[in-house]
Structure 1
Amino acid sequence: MLALSWNVRGFGRREKWRAVRKSVYLLKLVMLFIQESKLGVFDNSVVRSLGGSLLTRGVGVKAEGSAGGLISLWNDDLFKVHSCISCKRCIILAGELTSLNKQVFFVMFMRPILKTKEDCRGILS
Structure 2
Amino acid sequence: MIVMTWNVRGFGKGEKKVIVNGLVNRHNPEILFIQESKLKVFNNKVIRSLGGSRLTTGVGVEIVGASGGLITLWDENAFKAEDCITNRRCIIVAGVLTKINQHIVFCNVYAASVEAEMREMWGFILSSMQSLSAPWCLGGDFNTILDQS
Q: Same fold (TM over 0.5)?
A: yes
Deviation by residue 1:80-111 (Cα, 9 ceiling, x = unmatched): 00100111221101011111221101112222
Q: Which residue is equivalent to 1:80? A: 80
Deviation by residue 1:43-71 (Cα, 9 ceiling, x = unmatched): 11111111111001000000112210000
Q: Does 1:17 align with 2:17?
A: yes
* Two-structure CA RMSD over aligned residues (Å): 2.1
* Cα separation, 1, equivalents of 2:120 and 2:35: 22
Q: Which residue is equivalent to 1:40? A: 40
- Offset of 1:116 from its aligned partner? 5.2
* Cα separation, 2, equivalents of 1:105 and 1:111: 18
Could you list the runs of 5+ residues in structure 1 that have no partner in the other structure? none
Deviation by residue 1:11-61 (Cα, 9 ceiling, x = unmatched): 003321111000001001111000000001101111111111100100000
* Cα separation, 1, equivalents of 2:120 and 2:8: 28
Distance change in 2, residues 1:33/1:116 (3 Å): closer
Could you list the runs of 5+ residues in structure 2 that have no partner in the other structure? 132-149
Give identity over the alignment, percent. Answer: 48
What TM-score do you get using the length of structure 1 for normalisation?
A: 0.88
Runs of 4+ in structure 1 deviating by more than 4 angstroms, as ranges, are 113-117
How many pairs are equivalent?
123
